[in-house]
Structure formats: C-alpha cells, structure tokens
Amino acid sequence: MPVPWFLLSLALGRSPVVLSLERLVGPQDATHCSPGLSCHLWDSDILCLPGDIMPAPGPVLAPTHLQTELVLRCHKETDCDLCVRVAVHLAVHGHWEEPEDEEKFGGAADPGVEEPRNASLQAQVVLSFQAYPTARCVLLEVQVPAALVQFGQSVGSVVYDCFEAALGSEVRIWSYTQPRYEKELNLTQQLPALPWLNVSADGDNVHLVLNVSEEQHFGLSLYWNQVQGPPKPRWHKNLTGPQIITLNHTDLVPCLCIQVWPLEPDSVRTNICPFREDPRAHRNLWRAARLRLLTLQSWLLDAPCSLPAEAALCWRAPGGDPCQPLVPPLSWENVTVDKVLEFPLLKGHPNLCVQVNSWEKLQLQECLWADSLGPLKDDVLLLETRGPQDNRSLCALEPSGCTSLPSKASTLWDDDLGALWACPMDKYIHKRWALVWLACLLFAAALSLILLLKKDHAKAAARSRAALLLYSADDSGFERLVGALASALCQLPLRVAVDLWSRRELSAQGPVAWFHAQRRQTLQEGGVVVLLFSPGAVALCSEWLQDGVSAPGAHGPHDAFRASLSCVLPDFLQGRAPGSYVGACFDRLLHPDAVPALFRTVPVFTLPSQLPDFLGALQQPRAARSGRLQERAEQVSRALQPALDSYFHPPGTPAPGRGVGPGARDGT
C-alpha cells in the first residue's frame, strides 16, 4: 500500500537532499546508461544464482562500484513509495593474449586475429536486491562500442530504477556478471524509519515504544535476520493503539530485528535492527552459541546470528590444565554458523575438545565426545610427524612442548602430515624407557593436589634450595651411607628429598610416579638433582644406554634410581641437564672415570675429598662462596665420617662394595 506523503516527510525529515528527491511516475521498472553505451532491461526477474567464478576469455566488462540514491515512486500526487535507485559503474578488465607466432618470431599475426580486438564488448549484469521480506534479481544487458574499450579504464555506468523498500528496512544489494568472472560487489544501506517506532533502554530492560493512535491496528514481529537463508521468526502479535513492549536484556542479539506494519491489505512493513552495535547483544550471542556433534567426524556451531570465528581441536588432560590446541599439526578452520564442519578423525576420544576463537580471543570450548565416551581419561597424546623422506618421529604432548619418543599407540587422526595417537598409561608403563617417561607425565596430574597441600611447608622452607638425591640400592650398608649423607646435607640450607624417607608414598604411588613428581617439583623450584653413582648404578646406566631396557627383578621394589633413568636420560640426551644436575661418588668405592661419559656432561665430585666444591654446586646460584663454605664442608664431613668408617671397615667383616663393579677399589 502506498505511504501518504506526510508520513514520508516525517520519516525523511527536512534535509535538502530529501526535499530534492526525484519522483518517478508509474509502476514500471526502467534502465538507462551513460552516453555511448547501450543497455536493456529484461522483462521479468531472474533466479538469483551467482554461480562459480570462471576465467575470463579476454577483455570483459566487470562491475567496479555500486552507488544508490533514494527516489519516490508515486502512484498519485500524494501517495508515494520509497524506492532505491542503483547505479553500477563498469570497467574493462583482462586483456587479449598474444598469438604464439607473433611471440616466437616477432612477425605480424594473422589479420583474422585482429578482428575481435576491434569489436564491441557485451555483458549481462545482474543486480540482486534483498530487504526483508523481499528478494529480487534483475538482468541488465550492456554493450560498449570498440572505441570505448580501454583496458583497466571505466567505460561508464548503467542505472536501474528501482527497488521498492519499506521505511526503516535494511537493504542489501549485490552485483555481478553472468557468467561471473570476478567476486560480486555488495552494498548495505539502512533506510530511514518512521518516528512512531523507537527503542529506549531502562536499566537491564529494553522498551519498544510504538506511538500510534488508539484506533490503529498493527502487527509486530521480532525475528533474527540471517546473512544467508531466510529470517528466523521469534515472536509475533497483533496489537492496537500505543504500546510499550519490554524485552529482557538477555534476549538481545546483534541480528534481532523488529518489523511493524498496519493491519491493512498490501501494507508497507517497517524494519529496524537496532542492536547491531550493542555490547550486551554481542555478549549474549556467545552465551547462546553452542557446539553440536552430528557424527563422529562432523559438528556445527549453532548460534542466533552469524559471527566471525575460527575453530581447532585441542587436548584436555585431567587435573584442570588448560586445553592445548593441536595447532600444528592441525590448523584453525573458519566457522560459519549452522554449517557442518569436519575434522579428519578416525576415532573419538573424551579428551578431544573444540575451541572457537573470535578476534584471537577464546569464546567457546566444548568436549563434544565426552557425553558419549565418558569422562576424561588418564591418556597422553602422542604426535607422529613424517619428514620429506618418509622418516617418522613420535613425541609426547605436554604443556612445555612436545618431547621426542620412539613408539606408537592407538591412532585418532591421520593424513599426509602425520598422526595423533592416544596412549593408555598402564599399557606401556613397563616397556621401553620412552613410554615409561610418558607415564610419568600422566601421574603428574594426579599428584598436583598433593603438591598444593604441601604449599605451607614449601613456604616455610622457601629460602633453602631443594635437592633430590638419587642412588642405586646396591645393599643395605650403602643405603645407610646414603641416609647419613642426606641427613648431613639437611643441616645446611637444603631441602633434601630421598626415597629412604618416603617409603610409604613410594609404595602407594610407584617409583615412576614418585620420582617424576619429585624431579618436576625440584626443577620448577630451581633446585638440583644429585646422581650418586655406585658400581650398581654404573651397571644400570650402561645397561639402559646399550639396550634401552633394564633387567627385570634385578633390584628391590623401592629402587627409584632404576625407574628414574627413564626421565633422567631425556634431560641428558637433549642437553637440559647442565645447571640442574650434579654427580657424586665416594672416594674409595668408585673412580669418577667409571661414570658413563653421557653423565659426565655435568660435574661429578668425589666425596668426601671434594666436599667444598660439591656443596658449592648445591647451594643457590646467587649465594656467595666464602670461608663459610669450608666450615659447612667440615661439618658435613664430621657427620658423614662414622658412616664411612662403618661401611668400609665393618668390625670383623670385609668391606662391602669392594670389587663389586667397574672402578671399585680395595680401599687400602
């Protein structure tokens, strides 16, 4: 139904631009173009099907700019509709390819080839118009004479009259050629609204104020405006007279729009979308967004409105650590609302989650497979990568990075770049040292709570440096000697950890888990790990370095040194040991040269002859080295001497440990 002129004047205001609006008489659409061009409008609308971009066969006409103008289409002198006039500016893009004979020999090409270059250019230009609830596409045929064909230059414009639109509506216009050689142009414009519909805020609520007469019957609809696809209706009601409708702020989203129209045949509908820039609406949009798992590999993002986002898989381990994005090897994927996405998964896993980012900020994270596969598992994720010669390597994912390992497990994902593997901890704990080390990582999460409970104790000893003492339990006499050394070191500003004092925890957790937790805590606090070498320790190290496997049952159930090699060796092999490890051995039991060369990359001290240097390596790096160090060495030596005498000269028995392994001396 045409809108009376006085309503249009209220909506459009008194600006000079509006007062000079051109009036078109009659319902017919029309087109005209710049001088020199010829154009024609097809009699009926066409289907809006842009099609795929095709390579241009030579010079083609292409839309370069869209320009709109508001005009009035009047049915009577005072009854007019608001109409959008669209001008499409065109230019010549592309070029003729040079003939092969002219390129190769520099001669003149066949005269017949020159003829197309002097011909005119034709194009079919499509204009697509959308203003809820209307969508139209029209086809304009344009012809440019040869005299105006200049590559890269504008040739003029073609104008279409016109697309009718309701007051207050948002119009979207696209333009492209058929066939399509370039990406389509697009333009969005908000038309002025009637003054009797406005939006006001009152605290957390929003009021829709409709100032109409008491006798006026009208319809009111709320809908979600969609960039792709039809709008989604949310609420509709027929009303009478002035109304104030209250919306809760939690219902606001950027694409929430309002449509109002009088309850009359063929009435004009007014649309406004007032919440596009409202910060509350954008926060509500992400609160309403959900990830939905469709199949094992496919999922989609469900949200009221379109939004810019990208997604990637991540791995969430038990214990509350942040979910680690699997980028690389996977990459961030652009996300379209309600469009099915797929990751190349062969199996699901409860620890696999999906992260959705917007503007480099994490907005959404859900573990989609946890509902069907159960809670998080104590599994560790291994990544297999393939090099240029198909050489493969395996590494374990942990917060600090990916540590190299030589093994395989049950695969989750696979492509030309490599694979992801989920490795159950208990399945590989007794196999090669690399997988034992991997099991340590899983136990660490379970021990985090215990470490927090010991926080007060750690604060009390904050000024002393942590020292973890590792040794091989060759015999009971050597264990007593180690205990005496640990007790003597405790008299200094050192916090000493040794398995002799933690047998209950060691039995409950197992040597691998106990050592891994102690080693990690010691190194995180800037402490030092002491490797106390004996003939038995040297034999174990040589065994691991040669075969990668320790002889089962060769040592006692509480021997943390045997279990610790799986975690110690990577630190030495990857050059992380200097500054965090020191070695030591007793003077009459083992010569330093008997220690394997790999472990001599850190200082190895003989005790008690090199006690001052040994204690200097144990103290804080910032501590001053003065005469105080010599006093402490004498103090430790006095405390240690009775245990040394008892070990090397027990009454009535030969000294244990003599001639037990490489480098052992007779003590004479």
pLDDT in tens, 375-399: 888 877 777 766 666 666 777 776 6
pLDDT at 506: 79
Whether residue 121 is predicted with pLDDT greater than 50 in this model: the reply is yes
pLDDT at 5: 47
CA atoms within 13 A on the CB side of 487: 14
pLDDT in tens, 605-616: 999 999 999 998
DSSP class per residue in 121-168: EEEEEEEEEEETTEEEEEEEEEEE-GGG--TT-EEEEEEEEEEE--TT
Q: How far apart are CA 356 and CA 364, in angstroms?
A: 5
C-alpha distances out from residue 321 to 45, 373, 442, 567, Å? 58, 20, 12, 21
CB 226 within 8 A of CB 205: no
The pair phi, psi for residue 321, each rounded to 5°, is -70, 150
From 590, 603, 482, select the one nearest 538 (Cα to Cα).
590
* Mean pLDDT taken over the chain: 77
pLDDT at 445: 55
Q: How far apart are CA 337 and CA 318, in angstroms?
A: 30
Q: pLDDT-derived band of residue 658, with 50, 70 and 90 as boundaries?
A: very low
This prediction's pTM: 0.40
Q: Which residue has the higher pLDDT, 152 or 552?
A: 152
Residues recorded for the chain: 668
Q: What is the mean pLDDT of residues 519-538?
A: 90
Q: How far apart are CA 247 and CA 245, in angstroms?
A: 7
The pair phi, psi for residue 24, each rounded to 5°, is -105, 135
Helix H or strand E encompassing 511: helix 511-524
pLDDT in tens, 316-369: 887 777 888 887 667 788 888 888 888 766 677 888 888 898 888 888 888 888
Whether residue 314 is predicted with pLDDT greater than 80 in this model: the reply is yes
Q: Which residue has the higher pLDDT, 8 or 331?
A: 331
pLDDT in tens, 243-282: 888 888 888 899 998 888 888 877 767 778 888 888 889 9
Give the pair of three-digit tokens for residue 90: 């065109």
pLDDT at 535: 92
How many CB atoms lie under 10 A from the CB of residue 303? 23
Q: How far apart are CA 447 and CA 397, in angstroms?
A: 18
Q: Is the peptide bond before 603 cis (omega within 30 degrees of 0)?
A: no
User: Which residues are paired to 582 by β-bridges?
Assistant: 530
pLDDT at 385: 66
Whether residue 449 is predicted with pLDDT greater than 80 in this model: the reply is no
Q: How far apart are CA 665 and CA 204, in angstroms?
A: 85
From 23, 121, 24, 125, select the one nearest 65 (Cα to Cα).
125
Q: What is the mean pLDDT of residues 593-621?
A: 89
- Terminal Cα distance for the chain, rounded: 118
DSSP class per residue in 416-467: SSEEEEEEEHHHHTTS-HHHHHHHHHHHHHHHHHHHHHTHHHHHHTTTSEEE
Residue type, 664: A
Whether residue 198 is predicted with pLDDT greater than 60 in this model: the reply is yes
CB 474 within 8 A of CB 660: yes
pLDDT at 137: 93
From 123, 135, 270, select the one nearest 194 (Cα to Cα).
270
pLDDT at 444: 62
The pair phi, psi for residue 589, each rounded to 5°, is -105, -35
Give the pair of three-digit tokens for residue 537: 């320790």
From 641, 636, 644, select the one nearest 496 (Cα to Cα).
636
